[in-house]
């Protein structure tokens, strides 16, 4: 008998992957965690029935969410990663010798444990001396930080269920306060392909815009002298060339 895993995108759409082995299944205090072996995508991590990563294509996401801000800001030393318990973002960040500290805040220790065992290519740098893992609520963790980080990467699940609190105005405000004046925040916001997800993205982006002011584009300087953001995909207190956004008082 063939085994298939199906992820429901909407009530009318599902994506199915043939499974050769069900490697791991556990209900943690927070969510259902499963890891499957598949012939097409390699090992697949799912949380509450939603695909988080596959061995075949995780590099696309993890490289983009880390190397873009690292290329934009050459002064990044201290980094906060929220979520990303699989270790892929940490793996990419530890490639940089200039990075001095990575705080990884993951609420579910079972995710890290499962990925260490079954997804070692992702979790291979979790024991790097610069990585400090905090198993706690990210909302509480970040409230205690002020001007502590050069980069914050929010690699959460989509804005539903356990991660809903990571898409609030309060959370974005706390991220703003936790960043240094030239800091950058990168935030996973899901996909706009389906209408419900697109609406969730709009809500999230509106809250980010209200926290990280946007204004006119001026000549490139580094670092800019006032808080700004350069693009909706890369919210930041300050950004670097080729696009610099700086506030102009009195301009909406």
CATH of the domain at 13: 2.30.140.10
Specify the pTM.
0.82
DSSP state, residue 228: -
Q: Report if residue 196 sits inside a domain.
A: yes
What's the length of the chain? 252
Claim to verify: residue 119 and residue 82 sit in the same structural domain? yes
On whether the CB atoms of residues 213 and 190 are closer than 8 A, the answer is no
On whether the CB atoms of residues 32 and 161 are closer than 8 A, the answer is no
Q: Report if residue 217 sits inside a domain.
A: no
For 17, list phi and psi in degrees, rounded to 5: -130, 130
Sheet of 21-27: strand order equals 21-27, 32-38, 42-47, 50-54
**155 carries an active-site annotation:** yes
- Residue of higher predicted confidence among 153 and 191: 153
Tell me the helices (H) and strands (E) count for the chain, helix number first: 7, 11
Quick: pLDDT tens for 91-110.
Answer: 999 999 999 999 999 999 99
Claim to verify: residue 11 and residue 109 sit in the same structural domain? no
Q: Report if residue 241 sits inside a domain.
A: no
SS (H, E, C) 123-159: HCCCCCCCEEEECCCHHHHHHCCCCCEEEEEEECCCC
Scan for tokens 């991220």, then name that residue. Answer: 175
Mean pLDDT for 111-136 is 97
Instruction: Please give the tally of structural domains in the chain.
Output: 2
Q: Report if residue 65 sits inside a domain.
A: yes
User: Of these residues, 34, 62, 155, 182, which one is catalytic?
Assistant: 155
Q: Report if residue 206 sits inside a domain.
A: yes
Quick: pLDDT tens for 8-37.
Answer: 999 999 999 999 999 999 999 999 999 999
The pair of structure tokens assigned to 106 is 């993951």
**Distance between CA atoms of 101 and 28, rounded to whole angstroms?**
28
Helix (H, G, I), strand (E, B) or coil at 221: coil
**Distance between CA atoms of 228 and 176, rounded to whole angstroms?**
11
pLDDT of 245 higher than 90: no
Q: Report if residue 12 sits inside a domain.
A: yes
Residue 154: pLDDT band (50, 70, 90) is very high
**Distance between CA atoms of 129 and 102, rounded to whole angstroms?**
9
Q: Report if residue 236 sits inside a domain.
A: no
Quick: pLDDT tens for 31-79.
Answer: 999 999 999 999 999 999 999 999 999 999 999 999 999 998 999 999 9
Claim to verify: residue 18 and residue 46 sit in the same structural domain? yes
Claim to verify: residue 17 and residue 88 sit in the same structural domain? no
On whether the CB atoms of residues 54 and 12 are closer than 8 A, the answer is no
On whether the CB atoms of residues 239 and 224 are closer than 8 A, the answer is yes
Claim to verify: residue 196 and residue 116 sit in the same structural domain? yes
Q: Report if residue 72 sits inside a domain.
A: yes
Q: List beta partners, residue 172.
A: none
For 185, list phi and psi in degrees, rounded to 5: -120, 135
- Residue 47 sits in which domain range? 3-54
Claim to verify: residue 73 and residue 196 sit in the same structural domain? yes
């Amino acid at each position: 008998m063939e085994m298939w895993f199906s992820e429901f995108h909407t009530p009318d759409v599902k994506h199915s992957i043939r499974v050769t082995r069900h490697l791991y299944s556990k209900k943690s205090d927070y969510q259902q965690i499963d890891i499957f072996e598949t012939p097409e995508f390699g090992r697949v991590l799912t949380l509450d029935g939603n695909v988080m990563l596959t061995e075949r294509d995780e590099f696309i996401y993890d490289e983009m969410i880390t190397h873009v801000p690292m290329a934009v800001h050459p002064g990044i030393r201290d980094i906060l990663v929220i979520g990303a318990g699989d270790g892929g973002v940490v793996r990419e960040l530890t490639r940089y010798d200039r990075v001095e500290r990575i705080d990884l805040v993951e609420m579910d220790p079972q995710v890290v444990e499962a990925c260490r065992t079954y997804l070692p290519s992702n979790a291979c740098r979790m024991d790097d001396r610069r990585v400090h893992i905090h198993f706690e609520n990210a909302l509480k963790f970040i409230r205690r930080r002020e001007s502590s980080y050069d980069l914050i990467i929010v690699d959460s699940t989509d804005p539903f269920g356990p991660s809903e609190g990571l898409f609030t105005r309060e959370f974005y405000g706390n991220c703003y306060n936790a960043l240094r004046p030239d800091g950058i925040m990168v935030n996973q916001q899901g996909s706009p392909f389906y209408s419900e997800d697109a609406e969730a993205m709009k809500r999230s982006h509106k809250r980010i815009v209200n926290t990280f002011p946007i204004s006119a584009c001026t000549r490139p300087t580094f670092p800019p002298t006032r808080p700004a953001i350069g693009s909706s995909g890369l919210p930041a207190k300050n950004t670097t060339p080729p696009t610099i956004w700086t506030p102009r008082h009195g301009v909406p």
